[in-house]
Chain A
Amino acid sequence: MTEPLLQVRQLEVVYNRVATAIQGVSLDVPEGEIVALVGTNGAGKTTTLRAISGFLPSEDVAITDGTITLRGERINGRIPHQLAKAGIILVPEREKVFATLSVQDNLAFAAREDGAITIDRIHGYFPRLRERSSQLAGYLSGGEKQTLAIGMALLCRPTLLLIDELSLGLAPIAIKELMGRLRQISRELRLTVLLVEQNARAALSIADHGYVMESGRIVFSGKADELLSHPDVREFYLGGAGQAENKSYRDIKQYRRKRRWWG
């Protein structure tokens, strides 16, 4: 088993020295795979991504424990610019494009001179961007902004692509399209992706492996299809598929059960 591209061990992040956002988080992202990190609001998924990418928002947030290693090399606490050079690119949840620059300028911003990936190729993946080249990025629709953000990220030649809430604000059909496109890109470029999502179904549908986070800890992990069919995951994150027939008392009691993984 080859060493995973990204290894996070026992990560702990504390806000303002008093509020522990995540604790004991360990995950592996194997090279070339898509890994999904799902969970509800406030579970700590975004904090995890930010800790990995150096994108921690202010002075008073600190990684107080744990290690993050990229191909065996420890990368805790480097500044975003250095991590970008190492190939870790984050597509953040908000403010993911430069709104006052045109689409073309946004892409040019991120493009490398020695570009393995060219702007043309990005236009190939997302033809809408070519149409909207000279428009200010601030005026794009949500889905278009998302594709622009991904395009910019790809132009930076990422080794590991971190995406925060890809599906936020998008219509279901757009989500499906985008997720599919993402999988296609990942396969073509042999790109490793860590996808953080509230929309567990969408994320797990394209992922190879998944982790479930809750209250700052990883509570479950497994192959994506295992997770999709796991009864607890289905109950808590996927809307409890097709149990309308079995309405016996014993089954309803299931809802009062403490979450299995705390047991």
Chain B
Amino acid sequence: MARAGTNLRTSYLESNEVLRRPYQKLLIALILAAALMLPFASSDYFMHLINLCFLACIGALGLMILTGFCGQISLGHAAFLAIGAFTTVILTVHVKMPFLVVVPAAAVSGAIVGFLVGLPSLRFRGVYLAISTLAMHYAIVFLCTTYQANFGASASAGITIADPVIGSLRLRGEHAWYYFLLVLVTLFTAGCVNLVRTRPGRAWMAIRDRDIAAEALGINLTRYKLAAFMLSAMLASVSGSLAAYYSNVVTVEGYTLDLAVIYVAMIIVGGMGSVLGGLLGAIFITLLPYAIDSLFEFLPRAWRFGSTVFGVQVGAVGVCIILFLLFEPKGLAEIWRRTETYFDRWPFRYRPLDTTRR
């Protein structure tokens, strides 16, 4: 069957394809190959950074589904991460469950909490929903704080967890974690991409754009909104659980409102409404503080004293949020898309059949 050019599709099946142009398949293959080879050329420190990015990616995917695709503003993402971490703590310390049971269990507990946090979304939208999630965040963090306080004197600096063990293998060291997380992130990304381009994704996007109209079209708001919350919480919970194993320590102080805001920053910077955006945003925001740190190396010594670097790192996230919202609301993903489109159409400036003047 003749292809009607790279922009035009002739069947629904075609338009739903993930990789639409030949070079994209090549690109993905190259990226995966590079990803597999990367550890052989990297230091532990670099692997550590990548692992942090991977963990953030998993959490960001969750928030992207909830806020970017389904349009439910949530400031409670840190609470979901905390649930994952603390479920891990409870199951490993008190019940001594193995790794391969704990992580799915964390997903389940995440789903339950996601369901609960999602209930207000059936009644509220907009600001009031955001505030409900905020309230939920504090409630959950309070519970975790109480748990940690009652844990015992040793918990003041955080609760330690042993390294995860799969079968006879102990998951230890940056390189091992890298491969493990790479597989997980790839699987989750593929899963999300598929979810998003099929019915659930379309339902979510309809809800995001105008939920009254979506309901009129027969989309069950309850089911899809709660599903979005549950899925988001599950992914965040898994991320939190893995993060707990990765750093071997869990402390409730890490799960602040600022962390939730950082995840929101990830999806804004990445571009709400695209899986690629979630990944790009997660990587960008995770690496940002390190980049700033490196930047300061070039500045005169006098500037690096005290908390200035830290302050700038904190402020940079805020500045990114504002700048992206004002000037590039569709985020890094849009920048990628524009570049892609530019080369795709070159040497033409407009798409064929583009009749409106700009």
Contacts and interface: CB of A to CB of B under 8 A. Distances in A.
5 contacts: A14-B356, A17-B356, A17-B358, A18-B356, A64-B357
Interface in B342-358: 356-358
A18 B354 CA distance: 10
Nearest 5 interchain pairs by C-beta: A17-B356, A18-B356, A64-B357, A14-B356, A17-B358
Contacts, number: 5
User: How many residues of B sit at the interface, in one of the four size bands?
Assistant: under 10
B258 to A, nearest CB: 33
B41 to A, nearest CB: 48
Nearest to B356: A17
Interface in B191-245: none
User: Dominant SS at the B interface?
Assistant: loop
Interface of A: 14, 17-18, 64
A17 B350 CA distance: 14
Contacts of B357: 64
A14 B356 CA distance: 9
Nearest to A17: B356
Contacts of A17: 356, 358
Contacts of B358: 17
A18 B357 CA distance: 10
A21 to B, nearest CB: 13
A64 B358 CA distance: 10
A23 to B, nearest CB: 14
Contacts of A64: 357
A14 to B, nearest CB: 7
Give the most central of A14, A17, A18, A64: most B CB within 10 Å.
Answer: A17
A19 B357 CA distance: 13
Nearest to A14: B356
A112 B179 CA distance: 73
B146 to A, nearest CB: 46
A200 B358 CA distance: 37
B358 to A, nearest CB: 8
A14 B358 CA distance: 12
B98 to A, nearest CB: 56
Contacts of A18: 356
Nearest to B358: A17
A18 B356 CA distance: 7
Interface in B313-358: 356-358
A64 B356 CA distance: 10
